[in-house]
Amino acid sequence: MLEKDTANERTIEILQSVKGIGPVTISTFIADLPELGKLNRGEVAKLVGVAPINRDSGKKSGKRFIGGGRGHVRRVLYMATIVAIKNNEVWKNAESDSAKN
């Protein structure tokens, strides 16, 4: 379906150039995040639910948390991140170095 989608051809091309982003992630972004490319990164982060939201009230400073937004997109993004980390040599080396310490 991605090959036949001419309306989002450029977006698909850009997403395919990112290591760790595959057809499932791209399809999810195209179908469930049509605002991608039209909003700034902060707005997209809030929309997906990965932007830390504060729980402040008056002088009280609460904990920050992520949540809300489009949870199904957030879960797909999480899995793509795990795949990217596992296939990135810099992260692999950092992971093995931290295991030694």
> What are the extents of the domains in the chain?
9-100
> What pTM was estimated for this model as a whole?
0.71
State pLDDT tens for residues 35-45.
988 999 999 99
Residue 9: name the closest of 30, 32, 36 by CA: 30
> Please, what's the b/e burial string for 61-96 (b: 16 or more CB within 10 A of its CB; e: otherwise)?
eeeeeeeebeeebbebbeebeeeeeeeeeeeeeeee
State pLDDT tens for residues 30-80.
999 989 889 999 999 999 999 888 877 777 777 888 888 899 999 999 998
Alpha carbons 61 and 67: distance in angstroms, whole number: 18
Which residues is 53 bridged to in the sheet? 65
